[in-house]
Amino acid sequence: MSDAALTGRFDAVISLLTRLAAGQLEARGTPSDLDDDIDSVIVGINMLAEELQASHEEMERRVMQRTHELQQLNRDITQLTELGNLLQACDSVQEAFDAMSTSLSALFDGLSGVIYVYRSSRNVLEPKVIWGDLVDVPPLAPKDCWALRRGQSHVVKAENPALVCQHRLERQGDSVCVPMSAHGETSGLLHLVEPARPGQSPRPQPGPLTPAKQSLAAAVSEQSALALANLELTEKLRLQALRDPLTGLLNRRFVDEWINREVARTDQTGRSFGVIMADIDHFKQINDLHGHDAGDQLLKAVAHSIRNALRPGDLPCRYGGEEFLLLLADIDADVLRDRAEQVRTRISELRVSHRGGTLPTVTLSAGIAVYPEDGRTATQVIDAADAALYAAKRNGRNQIGVAHPISDAEGTGA
């Protein structure tokens, strides 16, 4: 071989190495037919180049996968933050359930799920939020879920199921159960499940229930449980603030809220609502002769009787002392008077036991008024019922007084 040919072959090797060094990993040398040492070098360089290219492609694949995972994590964190903001803005537990229904289906894309919440009896969990392919989800007994029994997340693999929860449906993919706990108490359960796979054969690629999604489920469970616990506490405190502690009836604060809303609703619909102002006759004598504990016992018994005499949608309230205000929506004057008479009759038949004896029989006087006939404002209609009550008192007690329809001049304050 001439010197020029040999030099040309060495130059080709150097060019190949230069291209590889510049990052052109697809570059390859072409051996000659001489099968000499230079050809061996070229073959070795090609093998090294193939290894470098394969390694580079694998690295790029991992970078792309990691980038995708980071992007997905960022989306999950954003959606989790949005869910937290939504839950903080909710005024009731039901509003929270509605917010979760929309958010969780997007947060756990490709997965079906259900959120169970314990009944007050603590022996059953009710499905409150359901999304995806799950329908007609039945209540859940705590013993039927391994996550609730163990107090930690429980994963079931479809291709190799072990310790399967009894509430898990057949023909489902991988699933996870995550207890929902707040303030040291388990309040519910988050259950996520993949769609079923034909024959439940192992999939070549990870399904939607990845370890990252399982971690996300734990975060959602903790966040949701805390939000629901806070809302339940808020609702409980609000209900306590609107309830009379002695009788359990709604109190005057509730009256103010309800009647103003009802005035606005009635003005829009053209319907009417009625109020009954009722007062126990000679109640002071019960307190003076038998003591305040007897008076309290009587008030509770009267409240119970009033509640039982009304329709399910009617609202009995303790207005103050021995005075009660009954709020009845969608009612006219004739039906309102009949309802007041039923209450009055029931109280006259009431017998209250106290300290082994029976308290004296009591009677009830009441006044009725209808909005807007007897008052153009919430204050006017209550005042009208109050005036009718005291007219009944003046006329001998144990009877129903009826408010007089208000004139246009009175209604406008002229």
User: Would you name the residues annotated as active-site residues?
Assistant: 322
Rounded Cα distance, 319 and 325, in Å:
6
- Which tokens in the block code for residue 406? 């208000």
Tell me the C-alpha distance between 414 and 411, whole Å: 8
Amino acid at 318: R
Query: What token pair was written down for 157?
Result: 């693999």
What residue type is assigned to position 290 of the chain? H
Whether cis (ω within 30° of 0) applies to the bond prior to 372 is yes
Q: Order the strands of the 364-371 sheet from edge to edge.
A: 315-320, 323-329, 273-280, 364-371, 400-402
Q: Assess contact for 362 and 280: CB atoms under 8 A.
A: yes
Q: Tokens 């009441």 — which residue?
A: 366
Backbone angle region of 209, left / alpha / beta, with phi > 0 → left and psi within -120 to 50 → alpha: beta
Distance of CA 238 to the CA centre of its chain: 17
